[in-house]
Structure 1
Amino acid sequence: MNTVVIKVTPSVMKKMKETYNGNLVNKKVPYSEFTAKKSGTAITAYTSGKVMFQGDNAQREAALWGAELPKKKKHTGSSDSSAKSAKLPANFSQLSVVGSDEVGNGSYFGPVTVCAAYADKEHLSALKALGVKDSKALTDKQIRQLAEKIKELIPFQLLVVNPEKYNQIQPTYNAVRMKVALHNQAIGLLLDKLAPVTPEAILIDQFTPEGNYNKYVSLEKTKVNQKIYFTTKGEQYHLAVAAASIISRASFLDELDAASVELGLTVPSGAGHKSDEVAAKVLRKGGIELLGKYAKLHFANTEKAKKLVK
């Protein structure tokens, strides 16, 4: 069994927890942030920032978060299907690119928002001047202000799946398949808007191995598969992903605010104990039917909230 250990920053740890939300296991490990199991690989994230991957696919899973894959021996006639995700074209940050990112998948309350944004060469300097960068390095106020300016500057396509719709399709679409479908749809709709202009590349902020993405996208009626690249921390490689992330985040925050007004409660992001407490209040107010309009019911928070009500 392969074992790989990496060290990550708090922001990456947060994104990892969101990414593996659908794979979390109820296993108490001392000093751990979370434990998960995906495709036979056990993932244990510790409060120290270290993350351990164990299993046959440990190296490949760890590579999604910055670990280096062992170099393969070259042999004639081989074709590396992951080449595009392993290495971006030279001067990629200066190309005209469609970037896409999502927000809300790891939050119990609120929607899943996915945005695809097109940043062409002519607008890169303007986006940089606005202060567009990794949304995790921005305050909520800055994100909201930037989102409005970005939407006036470049073409984008935003999709919002509210919790009620999410709960309807979740039994058929697991968390990863749902994100694949949404990214594919957002990119496709944006490409339709841009036609006849075509981007030089498409960059998706990677949330699953490329092979897994291709497996799920093949199930969609209409699929975009040309010039697509995948990489984690995509916002560091092109401003299009950073812009998409900011628009997605702003929309997610707006939806949480709207839910707070409707419920008369402060609706939190994330999936911590605060979410359990608010969910319990919503259950007392209107039962599971009301909760299902604002929260993703398959999360463990639902059962925790029910226990608080009892």
Structure 2
Amino acid sequence: MGQSVIKLDPLALKKLVNYYTPNRLSKKPPYAVIAAKANGCTITAYESGKVMFQGDNHEEESSKWGSQFETKTNKTKTKSAIPKWINQDHIGTDEAGTGDYFGPITVAAVYATEKQQALLRELGVKDSKTMKDPTIQKIVKDILKTDIVYSSLTLKNEKYNQLQKRGWSQGRIKAWMHHHAIKNVLGKLDDSVDPSGILIDQFCEPDVFHRHVKATGAESHDGLTFMTKAESYSTPVAAASMIARYRYVYEMNQMSKEVGFDLQKGASKIVDQQAKRIIKSHGEDYLNQIAKVHFANTKKAKQ
């Protein structure tokens, strides 16, 4: 079993603890602030700021919190430098819904020329994490009126849960979706168009991404670049992030209408209560259609 170890400052450690609280294990080692299990990986965070990730997906999970980490072989991974073509025409991808119990995973890819990127920025395109959903929805409606080339994919919960039961980790699912979103965009471009680059908002190490894609039976695209917080540097990635969020929110609104109340985003205690309410009103099997049932929220709701 592989492992990764990273060191976080107090603020980052607090964010990590809050993130994994829904997946908390009942027992933890001495001096640990939390022990949790998520994405097929055991996470143990200590008072010192040291965090250990153990399991098949240790690289993928640890890369969410830092692009530099140690492995058993003491290899050091560093994040990519900003590409020289960041302001030139390129494809950018991002996803939404991966940490939310309710709702699907959505992925978007956007190709934009230098001129189109300037227009997107004028429309208000930037890091979606700095904006509220109503603002994102308004801007995306304007984005979709432009002549950019994009692809938006939505993985419904029922299919997501099927893939999970087949042994697909969430990392493999995301890589599979990013791969196909890029493929769709490339297929829409004229033969004369050769993008300066393809940039993915990094959620795992590059070699892990390529292994995930290969495991799905596909061949990964050439010339991929990976960056953490890529939406802060790349307008196409920022636009992709907003489109993915727009699609996720749309699906959540549709599901909320079906269940008769507003579903909560995230994976908090409120989500546990809503899952319990749904089990009582619609039955446990209904969760398979609207939730990522392998999350710890399902077990808590049933208890």
TM-score range, shorter chain: 0.7 to 0.9
User: Which among 222, 241, 248 is matched to residue 244 of structure 2?
Assistant: 248
* Structure 2 counterpart of 1:192: 187
With over 3 angstroms needed to count, the CA separation of the structure-2 counterparts of 1:25 and 1:213, relative to structure 1, is: farther
* Structure 2 counterpart of 1:86: 80
**Structure 1 length as normaliser, TM-score?**
0.80
Pairwise CA RMSD: 3.6
- Tell me the SS of whatever aligns to 1:160: strand
Letter in 1 for 2:184: L
Please give the alpha-carbon distance, in whole angstroms, between the structure 1 residues aligned to 2:263 and 2:6.
37
The answer for unaligned runs of 5 or more in structure 2 is none
* Structure 1 counterpart of 2:114: 121
Please give the alpha-carbon distance, in whole angstroms, between the structure 2 residues aligned to 1:246 and 1:8.
30
User: Which among 154, 162, 167 is matched to residue 156 of structure 2?
Assistant: 162
Please give the alpha-carbon distance, in whole angstroms, between the structure 2 residues aligned to 1:9 and 1:65.
12
Please give the alpha-carbon distance, in whole angstroms, between the structure 1 residues aligned to 2:284 and 2:227.
38
* Structure 2 counterpart of 1:225: 221
User: Which among 115, 127, 132 is matched to residue 125 of structure 2?
Assistant: 132
Pair 1:294-2:294 in alignment: no
**Is contact 2:160–2:292 with CA below 8 Å preserved after alignment?**
yes
Number of aligned residue pairs? 289
Please give the alpha-carbon distance, in whole angstroms, between the structure 1 residues aligned to 2:159 and 2:60.
33
Please give the alpha-carbon distance, in whole angstroms, between the structure 2 residues aligned to 1:142 and 1:45.
38
With over 3 angstroms needed to count, the CA separation of the structure-2 counterparts of 1:223 and 1:168, relative to structure 1, is: same
**Is contact 1:188–1:223 with CA below 8 Å preserved after alignment?**
no
* Structure 2 counterpart of 1:26: 25
**Is contact 1:53–1:61 with CA below 8 Å preserved after alignment?**
no
With over 3 angstroms needed to count, the CA separation of the structure-2 counterparts of 1:67 and 1:117, relative to structure 1, is: closer
Please give the alpha-carbon distance, in whole angstroms, between the structure 2 residues aligned to 1:286 and 1:39.
29
For 1:288-310, what per-residue CA distance to the aligned partner results, in whole angstroms no more than 9, with x for missing partners? Answer: 22121111111111111111xxx
Identity of aligned residues (%): 31
Please give the alpha-carbon distance, in whole angstroms, between the structure 2 residues aligned to 1:192 and 1:213.
21
- Tell me the SS of whatever aligns to 1:268: coil
Please give the alpha-carbon distance, in whole angstroms, between the structure 2 residues aligned to 1:291 and 1:193.
36
With over 3 angstroms needed to count, the CA separation of the structure-2 counterparts of 1:145 and 1:109, relative to structure 1, is: same
**Is contact 1:114–1:158 with CA below 8 Å preserved after alignment?**
yes
Relative to structure 2, which stretch is displaced further, 219-228 or 26-35? 26-35
**Is contact 2:272–2:300 with CA below 8 Å preserved after alignment?**
yes
Please give the alpha-carbon distance, in whole angstroms, between the structure 2 residues aligned to 1:295 and 1:224.
29
The answer for unaligned runs of 5 or more in structure 1 is 71-79
For 1:160-205, what per-residue CA distance to the aligned partner results, in whole angstroms no more than 9, with x for missing partners? Answer: 0111121122122111111111110111111101131221101111
